[in-house]
A and B are shown apart, each in its own frame.
Chain A
Amino acid sequence: MISKIRPAIIEKADGYIPLLLAFTIITFCVGLYFSLIESPADYIQGDSMRIMYIHVPSAWFSLMIYTLIALSSVFWFILRNPLLSLAGRSLAPIGAMFTFLALITGSIWGKPTWGTWWAWDARLTSMLILFFLYLAYILLWHSISNKDNASKIAAALGIIGFINIPIIKFSVDWWNTLHQPATISKLSTPSIDVSMLIPLLIMTFAFGLFLLSLFIIRIRILSLELRINRKMIY
């Protein structure tokens, strides 16, 4: 019934954190060099489109992280390994951060492109709702003091939220086509030039490394916290 956390995996990963962080910083430097200096400016939007190299990876990862939370919830139901609920719990703030970053950069990008900080564009709106889904998940963990119970409830909520993402996306898209004039240009161009694709991929990779290092640090902290709490109580 009760499965022990295997701290060995986490402790082994612990030694690699500095290495991982160094690698992350180097990749970021290379990515930023390519996206800010090496790549050409967009012929319509000019230099302002360079924020895409931050915006697009964070938007991708914000969705991916919620998928990971949902997956860890599903597997938690099957395996009941506390490590999986710790994974969901440590991923959530990172995902919320990426979503927030995507919202902020989207808004900054919107100012020169649309002439306004915020438009009720389908993507931005769904992102905003996604942010609140993250927030709900985080607050849930926060408000239940018994973490054993919290992991059971959070797993269910993770799945419910994930089922809702496509539904929300669908309805927001539908609402947007109905209520918004079609003059607003889409944030991403349908075909992307190779000279822009390379920096985008490097930046995505850098974001991925960043996510991985944050994740390992957080899950390490949470697992230690859990062990301390259990020692204190029992």
Chain B
Amino acid sequence: MFKNLLLRDLRLAYYSSSNFIYIGSFFILITILIPFVINTGTEDFTSVFQGLIWVGLALSLLLALDKIFSSDFDDGNLDIILRMEISYDKIYLSKLLSVWITYCLPIVIIVPLISTVFNLTINETIFITVNLFCGSFGMTATAIAINALLMGLKRMIYLKSIIIIPLYIPFMIFGVEQGSWPVLSALSMIAVVVASFATSYGLRLYGE
């Protein structure tokens, strides 16, 4: 059942405009804004690029907010999902995986590919990719939890973003530091655990 829900969500993302090509192009376009807005030496490029990676990841998740639970809630598919033989925790885990694969994995894959353009050394590329991998789960979990609580509020991306961005700050701070993947993993773990409670609470509220 878990696998079915996961496959269904991935298929839905593939059918609608959230597949690899869309997210990847969106992310690359965000990062190539750097040369246009910064015209100093390459050293600035590198540090701004590292920061913008995280902003791009956050944007990709924030723009996805209306698709996590909200659209299923709106059209009635959530009624079907909640009546499947699957616990709310498993629904949450499946969402965590499908949202991560749809909105974070493309970025984790693209970053090492385009990092040479921004003069990142091999070492820097490895650390930022590892950081992205470790931190993105927590950020995904946060987005899912807030959206599960607020799924009735469709097209309220600004409100949801105002709630979510402060929660993203710790990830951002550690994300750009070399060798901080253990802290990021710890943050992600906290977020994943707290979000599991919040999500099942949100799903229970939805029924009412």
Contact = CB atoms under 8 A, between A and B. Distances in A.
> Do A and B touch directly, given a CB cutoff of 8 Å in the complex?
yes
A175 interface: yes
A36 B163 CA distance: 39
Interface residues of A, number: 26
A129 B146 CA distance: 18
B162 interface: yes
Contacts of B152: 144, 149
A129 B166 contact: yes
B172 to A, nearest CB: 9
Interface residues of B, number: 25
B32 interface: no
Given A136-B162, A153-B150, A153-B205, A171 B174 contact: yes
A112 to B, nearest CB: 29
A31 to B, nearest CB: 33
Contacts, number: 63
B48 to A, nearest CB: 15
Nearest to B205: A152
Interface stretch (A50-58, A160-168, A202-210): A160-168
B176 to A, nearest CB: 9
Contacts of B187: 167
A156 B162 contact: no
Interface of B: 145-146, 149-150, 152-153, 156, 159, 162-163, 165-167, 169-170, 173-174, 177, 187, 190, 194, 198, 201-202, 205
9 contacts: A132-B166, A136-B166, A149-B152, A156-B149, A164-B167, A164-B170, A167-B190, A174-B173, A175-B173
